[in-house]
Structure 1
Amino acid sequence: MSTVTRSASASPCMALNGIIDASLFPLKSTSDVVNLFRRALTSPIEPDLTLLSIVVGYIELSLTTGEAAQAAQAAQAALGGGSDVIMGNSVPFPVVTHELIAGLYKKFQTILSVVEKPKPHRQATREIIKKVSDVIWNSLIRSSYKDRAHLQNLYSYLSGNKLDCFGVALATTAGCQLLGYRDVRLAISEDHAWVVFGQKHVESIEVTWHGKGSEDKRGQDIGAGIESGSWLYLGGLAVVCERGMEVAAICVALNISLSANSDCVEVAELQQQLLWLLYDLGHLKRYPMALGLLGELEEIHRTHRSISCEQLFREAIDSARNYYHNHHVYPHIFQGNYYNRLLKYREAFAAWANAADVIRLYTYQCRDDEEIYKELLDIANELIPYVMKTESSGHSARSILRDAEVFANLLRFYDGICQWEEDSLTPILHIGWAKPLVTNITKFDYDIRSQVVIKLPEDLEAEQAAALEAKKAAAAAAAATTAAAAAAEATLHLEGNNNNNNNNTLAKKDEKPKSELPTTLADLTAACGEKILNPDFLLQGGGQPFADQKQQAAAEQTTSSDLSHNNNNINNNNINTSSSKEADKEATTTSNGGGGSSNMAQSPSTEAQMQSPSQSQHKEAKLEESSQLELASSKPAAVDDYDPFEIMLKRPVITLYSQKMKGLKDLLLAEKLNTHAISLQVTAQSVASRKVRGGGGADSRQPATISATITAIASTEGGAVGGGAGAGNATSATSTDSIAPSRPKRTRRE
């Protein structure tokens, strides 16, 4: 091709910025390119972004847009290749020569020569970065390339003066590195890229545009976008790259598309191997979108024996939660679409609901949020209706239509979208959203819908207030017993001195209850929150301070066996009592997780005071059994162990936060659905008050876990426990006969 020979006259002795030895060239295979990247990433000198972007860009364009690739594409079209199938184009791997790369590298240096190089230890300024972006911007062909493929690398820029918006941000970062400004870093959200700089990388600057047009944002700070609550900037929790992560961004930006319906096997293989190299070196742990993309590539073609694509999707979600307060939407969409392709619809609904829990943290911005809007619209109006149609074709008890948890997740999904719409200048839920929503709801019978416990934030506030009052009452009770506890401790100490002349058997019997008593007033007060006080001790000041110790003392007095046998019985009683208390605590915690009543947490202790010891132990055993059942339900059940009746007995609890969905509470649980009223409520104009969102500070950011949660059951496979250039999305299943009906379809973004 003409682009291959345009710079062949460059000097072959060029040292490529002193980082990569010319002896590594030519590159004739995928392994040669991976070896080049490994050498760059493990060298004590930071990797050269310009060099690596030119190399992979040349390979990508040669295999996907070259003359031979076009001929292969035409041959595939003549054979009637199916859609969504990765196909090889039978093009030999392009030979990457040192002369070619050196010539383009020198050209980029010449373009940047008009920018002042830094003095020793000098950091970049907003003016310097703006000037670098101006140089790149002014040399581009005047046209918008938002939806064009293969424009995210420096080879596209240096050979054809074409870049999309991510390509401009990458070129600006690489240009600053080439000039010697080491503090400039690339920042990436899920659909945009900009630059951060300064010693702590807290200053930011726009260097490109976003959207269908080419409106100039260069030189602006991103603070306004963060304050607007736009998903485009992820609330200030975007991926701020180190050099290794910038190399990962170059690899993620590789576009494997050969045509609308086929991908290039060679480029996909190169991208997959490079991402595994970066994964092994630890450069992807803070890059959720890269982990998700690697998971999709592994789903198409498994290359790693020990790490599955499902595990990679989980790691992407964990990365978003651990490093970005769960403000990234795509990791959950990756997982949900993956489960949907495997026909695991329960897990898919939970993952999609988790994605809606994240999007509710933002306010919808029509132009900036176009990509994520398309994703959610596709889930709501294509994937979910298809699943509902498939599942409603029979009357199997295994159908998700007989699962109240699925219905709760469906409501949680729409609740997140409705809250995303609140305070937006542009409505989201028009009649095109309302019709599928109403249809999906009507698929669930009344006996399934009525199992879902729907709460409102007002209910949670009342429960929290009641819990606070109960806590204050407990503190007052503990303070009231302080004086009596001090007197009891002194009395017990005096009795111990008077009983020194008793026989050894009685002395040893008295040692056990004394050893269990708190030795200080502070210990006694702290134990009041965990043990039940003895009424005799409170009223008369004598005897054991706690009820369980009173039971142990009575058991010791009625035992006439020898001392060793007696001590064994006491130890067994202590173990049983301890285990029952732990079960009581575990059951109480489970019943109150994520929106449960705080008053329920105190009911086991209150009832235990009013019941006999045998009744108390019986209730504790029941609580332990129920907690074990709930824990078992949170684990993925095997196909053979599936029990439809157990699914029907579940009582998921969900809290609705959006104004629209709160207004639907009574309609959703009615025996006969009023579909017209539901449709009117969903499409009504939102009049909600302004949502409180996390600004730029880390302390003010709230994780997505504060949104609606299903508390009765933990979803399987980590789906309900619950990054980026060039990310991918997935399509719905096209056939129920295949385990993976279709491969993930990727739409390349900035």
Structure 2
Amino acid sequence: MSTVTRSASASPCMALNGIIDASLFPLKSTSDVVNLFRRALTSAIEPDLTLLSIVVGYIELSLTTGEAAQAAQAAQAALGGSNEVIMGNSVPFPVVTHELIAGLYKKFQTILSVVDKPKPHRQATREIIKKVSDVIWNSLIRSSYKDRAHLQNLYSYLSGNKLDCFGVALATTAGCQLLGYRDVRLAISEDHAWVVFGQKHVESIEVTWHGKGSEDKRGQDISAGIESGSWLYLGGLAVICERGMEVAAICVALNISLSANSDCVEVAELQQQLLWLLYDLGHLKRYPMALGLLGELEEINRTHRSITCEQLFREAIESSRNYYHNHHVYPHIFQGNYYNRLLKYREAFAAWANAADVIRLYTYQCRDDEEIYKELLDIANELIPYVMKTESSGHSARSILRDAEVFANLLRFYDGICQWEEDSLTPILHIGWAKPLVTNITKFDYDIRSQVVIKLPEDVEAEQAAALEAKKKATAAATAAATAAALEASLHAEGNNNNNNTVVKKDEKSKSELPTTLADLTAACGEKILNPDFLLQGGGQPFADQKQQAVADQTTSSELSHNNNNHINNNTSSSNNAEKEATTISNNGNNEANSNSNSNSNNNEQQQQQQQQQQHKEAKVEEISQVELASSKQPAVVDDYDPFEIMLKRPVITLYSQKMKGLKDLLLAEKLNTHAISLQVTAQSVASRKVRGSGTDSRQPATISATITAIASTEGASIGGSATSAASTDSFAPTRPKRTRRE
């Protein structure tokens, strides 16, 4: 194969025409590989998926399945057990030569030569993509290799014709790119992969199979899977990759396993550095699974100074919430298992409950949901019982068994699983689930269980209706207050244009009987302060309390009398509005008769006093208006509101599943009827069909008020004989941290 050597500083590292830059080879270290990826991701030409997958695939298989890896496994076995860690065993980094990569690249081009290349600016069609996947599918070895590890890269395909389901999807995407179809993109859920195409990437096509069966789905649209409510397709909210994210998928697919109990440190280090490169370039922002995997690697071996694994787990959750409407389950499982490893059991229970809140959005499909089923079964039957057993010893006041919120999160966890089971053709909660559930519930005393406030959806709907009605009333009251303020301001501006006698007449009118007609009420709004009780409830006087008005008038009269050297005995208990009005008018008349200069001075002082009173009224009306507007924004207070409950911070949850709603009284009973609880949990589900959409479920999961400061990684014990180890599964979900590592 002919090659062209270019300057490494003046050209991209490769071109999508089979001509590979030989100046970057050989690759002799992890840093060389990272530099190759950096050049591919930052050059003007889009990254070549074929080249990058061949490179990392060769390194992965050389270090995990080659002679050096076999020698390392033999040495580990000689140490006598999977719990031992091999120290100081250095595996030489494989040298990646230009001839090796160019030869395999050429081979892939030859395989795809039967597919027509596109005309200029032509987009891919379903038939073209199906033909590419047919070529790859028909060249695979028909054997059990698809259930083994290290089969997710193009090196495995080109050197041994072996691929798992994700490998086929990746090979199809890379093949379409190599042919020149730029609109074909890889789509990834948490346990499956397919292809999207078209100008807006809205068309989809299956190009592989899923699970352990041999039947393929190639050529089908994924709409049927979305409509079935299967977790496998994430409700249509899977990760749709750009080229940089497809490179991230290649890195996530790296399998660092040497065996079921040990990892290859060299491959883990390469994967960690490549993911940090992609993180810094912004390609992991919309990829929750990659963020979670990077968090796991940092948990085992921290390499970044400023970003911790907890921050990465938090970003994984935020990515799922911001870009995928919180439809991804694994980020929450990452969080719960991570906290569990740190012995932060309260946070772990909250995170596991959040994972169940996501899974409730789907309907259980037996074969498609096998991987997530095993994860949740592991949590329910292995991790939680172990925590309960640990915490029950000693039973201190700081134990989670004395925390009502932990009990509420436990109920929320099982409520999500029960709702996941509803409408499924296959039941989930058999007796193997029921026994640990009953045992876990009995660990909590009645005084702790009784603190949890359990509500049903119909209760929530009634509260929401009451809150809406209260908001409407508050809005109407605020509108009335604002209207009154506007009327008073208008009348005040009109009054300023009149003489002092007009002001006095206005005071006379204000002391008259309260208006009863709508016209009088409207006119008096400019003179009186509206009574909030009258506006909100319709009772009492239309205007402010008369005693307050009497005190204000008395103060004004006293000040005027003092300024005019007229000492009048003001007895507030016996005086009334009429007497004070007459006194005010008489004093003004006497002042006017005594001296013209004194009259002018008194008029000015009186006008200032009136203006101050008017400004006070305006400020008071504005204050009332602001209070009403603020009250309209506050949540409505329901009839059963208990301040003591808020003081104790009693956890409140809403149970949505039919099974858990039936357990409400049993869970809060002083003496638990374990037999009745077990029967209810294992009963056949009779729930109505869930309403699903392209975004979120119509019923939003309940949440518990809890402060969560970190996001977690996936870890858990194996589920007896039914669990499949990370080294022997075709799932491309991130592997859990292994119990032993070779260093």
TM class by smaller structure:
0.7 to 0.9
Task: Using the TM superposition, give the Cα deviation of residue 145 of structure 1 relative to its aligned residue in structure 2, in angstroms.
Answer: 3.5
Map Cα deviations across residues 509-554 of structure 1 (whole Å, 9 max, x no partner). Answer: 9999999999999999999999995259869999999979998998
**Aligned runs of 1:120-159 on 2, under 5 Å?**
120-159=120-159
Q: What SS is found at the alignment partner of 2:296?
A: helix
Contact 2:7 2:23 in 1 (8 A): no
Residues 546 and 318 (structure 1), Cα distance of their counterparts in 2 relative to 1, 3 Å cut: farther
Identity of aligned residues (%): 92
Contact 1:734 1:741 in 2 (8 A): no
Of 581-590 and 151-160, more deviation after overlay is shown by 581-590
**Aligned runs of 1:442-453 on 2, under 5 Å?**
442-453=442-453
Contact 2:550 2:577 in 1 (8 A): no
Residues 410 and 19 (structure 1), Cα distance of their counterparts in 2 relative to 1, 3 Å cut: farther
Residues 622 and 22 (structure 1), Cα distance of their counterparts in 2 relative to 1, 3 Å cut: farther
Higher CA-based Rg: 2
Q: What SS is found at the alignment partner of 1:545?
A: coil
Residues 662 and 598 (structure 1), Cα distance of their counterparts in 2 relative to 1, 3 Å cut: farther
Q: Distance in 2 between matches of 1:608 and 1:395?
A: 77
Q: Distance in 2 between matches of 1:6 and 1:148?
A: 39
Map Cα deviations across residues 685-722 of structure 1 (whole Å, 9 max, x no partner). Answer: 001110111x3368989788799999999999999999
Task: Using the TM superposition, give the Cα deviation of residue 148 of structure 1 relative to its aligned residue in structure 2, in angstroms.
Answer: 0.7
Task: Using the TM superposition, give the Cα deviation of residue 502 of structure 1 relative to its aligned residue in structure 2, in angstroms.
Answer: 8.2
Residues 75 and 536 (structure 1), Cα distance of their counterparts in 2 relative to 1, 3 Å cut: closer
Residues 699 and 114 (structure 1), Cα distance of their counterparts in 2 relative to 1, 3 Å cut: same
Residues 542 and 457 (structure 1), Cα distance of their counterparts in 2 relative to 1, 3 Å cut: closer
Q: Distance in 2 between matches of 1:272 and 1:583?
A: 88
Contact 1:407 1:444 in 2 (8 A): yes
Task: Using the TM superposition, give the Cα deviation of residue 612 of structure 1 relative to its aligned residue in structure 2, in angstroms.
Answer: 27
Residue number among 717, 722, 744 corresponding to 2:737 in the alignment: 744
Q: Distance in 2 between matches of 1:119 and 1:283?
A: 30
Q: Distance in 2 between matches of 1:704 and 1:595?
A: 75
Q: Distance in 2 between matches of 1:530 and 1:550?
A: 16
Task: Using the TM superposition, give the Cα deviation of residue 466 of structure 1 relative to its aligned residue in structure 2, in angstroms.
Answer: 1.9
Q: What SS is found at the alignment partner of 1:561?
A: helix
Q: Distance in 2 between matches of 1:598 and 1:309?
A: 86
Contact 1:358 1:704 in 2 (8 A): no
Of 381-390 and 3-12, more deviation after overlay is shown by 3-12
Q: Distance in 2 between matches of 1:547 and 1:108?
A: 88
Map Cα deviations across residues 283-313 of structure 1 (whole Å, 9 max, x no partner). Answer: 0000000000000000000000110000100
Q: Distance in 2 between matches of 1:264 and 1:735?
A: 15
Confirm whether residue 460 of structure 1 aligns to residue 446 of structure 2. Answer: no
Q: What SS is found at the alignment partner of 2:564?
A: helix
Q: Distance in 2 between matches of 1:428 and 1:126?
A: 37
Structure 2 gaps, min length 5: none
Residues 460 and 641 (structure 1), Cα distance of their counterparts in 2 relative to 1, 3 Å cut: closer
Residues 483 and 367 (structure 1), Cα distance of their counterparts in 2 relative to 1, 3 Å cut: closer
Task: Using the TM superposition, give the Cα deviation of residue 325 of structure 1 relative to its aligned residue in structure 2, in angstroms.
Answer: 0.2
Q: Distance in 2 between matches of 1:465 and 1:166?
A: 48
Task: Using the TM superposition, give the Cα deviation of residue 17 of structure 1 relative to its aligned residue in structure 2, in angstroms.
Answer: 3.1
Q: Distance in 2 between matches of 1:394 and 1:600?
A: 89
Q: Distance in 1 between matches of 2:52 and 2:127?
A: 27
Residues 551 and 619 (structure 1), Cα distance of their counterparts in 2 relative to 1, 3 Å cut: closer
Counterpart position of 2:90: 90
Task: Using the TM superposition, give the Cα deviation of residue 216 of structure 1 relative to its aligned residue in structure 2, in angstroms.
Answer: 1.3
Q: What SS is found at the alignment partner of 1:195?
A: strand
Task: Using the TM superposition, give the Cα deviation of residue 214 of structure 1 relative to its aligned residue in structure 2, in angstroms.
Answer: 1.5
Task: Using the TM superposition, give the Cα deviation of residue 473 of structure 1 relative to its aligned residue in structure 2, in angstroms.
Answer: 3.7
Please report the TM-score for the alignment, with normalisation by the length of structure 1: 0.75
Contact 1:186 1:196 in 2 (8 A): yes
Counterpart position of 2:544: 547
Q: Distance in 1 between matches of 2:548 and 2:669?
A: 51
Contact 2:378 2:717 in 1 (8 A): no
Task: Using the TM superposition, give the Cα deviation of residue 69 of structure 1 relative to its aligned residue in structure 2, in angstroms.
Answer: 1.1
Task: Using the TM superposition, give the Cα deviation of residue 321 of structure 1 relative to its aligned residue in structure 2, in angstroms.
Answer: 0.2
Map Cα deviations across residues 67-121 of structure 1 (whole Å, 9 max, x no partner). Answer: 1210121011101254396877521000000000000000000000000000000
Residues 52 and 500 (structure 1), Cα distance of their counterparts in 2 relative to 1, 3 Å cut: same
Greater RCO, CA 8 A, separation 6+: 2
Please report the TM-score for the alignment, with normalisation by the length of structure 2: 0.76
Q: What SS is found at the alignment partner of 2:259?
A: coil
Residues 115 and 511 (structure 1), Cα distance of their counterparts in 2 relative to 1, 3 Å cut: farther
**Aligned runs of 1:240-639 on 2, under 5 Å?**
240-474=240-474, 485=484, 488-489=487-488, 492-493=491-492, 496=495, 499=496, 534=531
Q: Distance in 2 between matches of 1:99 and 1:584?
A: 113
Q: Distance in 1 between matches of 2:111 and 2:509?
A: 86
Map Cα deviations across residues 606-629 of structure 1 (whole Å, 9 max, x no partner). Answer: 999999999999999999999999
Contact 1:332 1:351 in 2 (8 A): yes
| Count of equivalent residues | 739
Q: Distance in 1 between matches of 2:444 and 2:605?
A: 38
Of 141-150 and 77-86, more deviation after overlay is shown by 77-86
Of 60-69 and 3-12, more deviation after overlay is shown by 3-12
Contact 2:132 2:175 in 1 (8 A): yes
Q: Distance in 1 between matches of 2:205 and 2:574?
A: 58
Map Cα deviations across residues 546-580 of structure 1 (whole Å, 9 max, x no partner). Answer: 97999899889969999999999999999xx9999
Contact 1:634 1:716 in 2 (8 A): no
Q: What SS is found at the alignment partner of 2:406?
A: helix
Residues 561 and 743 (structure 1), Cα distance of their counterparts in 2 relative to 1, 3 Å cut: farther
Q: What SS is found at the alignment partner of 1:562?
A: helix
Aligned-residue CA RMSD (Å) = 14.0
Task: Using the TM superposition, give the Cα deviation of residue 744 of structure 1 relative to its aligned residue in structure 2, in angstroms.
Answer: 2.3
Q: Distance in 2 between matches of 1:274 and 1:525?
A: 74
Q: Distance in 2 between matches of 1:466 and 1:593?
A: 56
Residues 183 and 88 (structure 1), Cα distance of their counterparts in 2 relative to 1, 3 Å cut: farther
Residues 24 and 396 (structure 1), Cα distance of their counterparts in 2 relative to 1, 3 Å cut: same
Residues 343 and 151 (structure 1), Cα distance of their counterparts in 2 relative to 1, 3 Å cut: same
Contact 1:150 1:254 in 2 (8 A): yes
**Aligned runs of 1:105-184 on 2, under 5 Å?**
105-184=105-184
Of 293-302 and 462-471, more deviation after overlay is shown by 462-471
Map Cα deviations across residues 9-68 of structure 1 (whole Å, 9 max, x no partner). Answer: 999999773675210000000000000000000001100000000000000000000012
Contact 1:587 1:626 in 2 (8 A): no
Q: What SS is found at the alignment partner of 1:194?
A: strand
Contact 2:313 2:713 in 1 (8 A): no
Contact 1:206 1:219 in 2 (8 A): yes
Q: Distance in 2 between matches of 1:506 and 1:521?
A: 23
Q: What SS is found at the alignment partner of 1:5?
A: coil
Q: Distance in 2 between matches of 1:323 and 1:560?
A: 68
